[in-house]
Amino acid sequence: MSAIESASFDLHRLDRLAACDSAVHRLDPRVKVLITLAFLVCVVSFDKYAIAGLLPFALFLTLIIGLAGIPSGFILNRLLLAAPLALLIGLFNPVYDHQPLMRLGTLAIAGGWLSLLSLMLRFCLTVGVVLALIATTGFNAVCRALEQLGMPSVLAVQLLLLYRYLFVLVEEGLRLNRARALRSFQGRGLGIRACGFLLGSLLLRTLDRSQRIHLAMRCRGFDGTIRTRNPLRLNGRDVLILAIALAALLAMRVFDGPLLLGRFVTGLLAS
């Protein structure tokens, strides 16, 4: 259960980071959501062998994290936790794609290795920018922004409730595991069968808890509308930053920055 406790701590830390104050935190949540969506579209639209073209997006993400004051170690630790899943997806690329696409001296590099590296890079960029969005905005404000940008209200509320009561589910699981550990002697009650009973009990307690939460929400007048403490207000500064960020992302996607830089440096050296 230590992994569950660590995951719960990470969620709480995201909320604490979202309560900080910086130039990125003060942006309108809708602006940050639009920039994040544009970033995701640009990154996933690259060819499967693209590597150099993704490097400017890594610099863009690093700039955002630096301006927001998010600890880089926190982002890197979360990426390392989820990296094995992305690695498993692209693990067989080198096995099936043997065509050489690059040479480093006498060493020929197959396309499968390039596509694997490109996949891992895109994974780091997409997951990193989503973590940065939540750490600078808060999940409540993100759901409110998505709703105002056109997402169906039912879906936005479901996302919000899923995130909000994930803490309750984790606490229930930790409480059940702690009770089982206190009642287990000489290794008894720690097998797979006991885990099955534990999961069944967790499911029943979750259903009962969800019914009580739903009744409490209805008694307090919940009508399916997401409400936040601070209303969303879009000002000229937000619009300007949105335009600059979208233009920068479009330029990074259309123009191959590393290639242009390489040609410029080569031209200087040749002259």
* Domain range enclosing 18: 2-151+234-255
Look at residue 202 and tell me if it is in a domain: no
Q: Which of 5-9, 86-90, 238-242 bottoms out in mean pLDDT, i.e. has the lowest?
A: 5-9
DSSP per-residue string spanning 194-240? HHHHHHHHHHHHHHHHHHHHHHHHHHTT--S----SS-----HHHHH
Pair 95, 112: CB distance under 8 Å? yes
223 found inside a domain: no
7-17 core/surface letters (b: 16 or more CB in 10 A; e: else): ebeeeeebeeb
User: How far is residue 103 CA from its own chain's centroid?
Assistant: 34
Domain assignment of residue 57, yes or no: yes
Task: Let me know if residue 193 belongs to a domain.
Answer: no
Residue 113 in any domain: the answer is yes
Q: What is the pLDDT of residues 222-255, one digit of tens each?
A: 777 766 666 777 888 989 999 999 999 999 988 8
How does pLDDT run across 185-198, given as a tens digit for each residue? 666 656 666 677 77
Q: What DSSP string describes 142-176?
A: HHHHHHHTT--HHHHHHHHHHHHTHHHHHHHHHHH
For the beta carbon of residue 6, count every other beta carbon within 10 angstroms.
11
Could you give the 3-state DSSP secondary structure of residue 75?
Answer: helix
125: nearest Cα among 185, 50, 58, 32: 58
Q: Is residue 172 in a domain?
A: no
For residue 260, tell me if it sits in a domain: no
pLDDT at 113 over 50: yes
Residues across the chain: 271
User: What percent of the chain has pLDDT above 70?
Assistant: 86
- pLDDT value at position 34? 94
pLDDT at 79: 85
DSSP β-bridge partners for residue 107: 104
Task: Give the whole-angstrom CA distance, residue 94 versus residue 76.
Answer: 25
pLDDT digits (tens, 9 = 90+) for 116-163: 888 889 999 999 999 999 999 888 888 888 888 888 888 888 888 888
Number of domains in the chain: 1
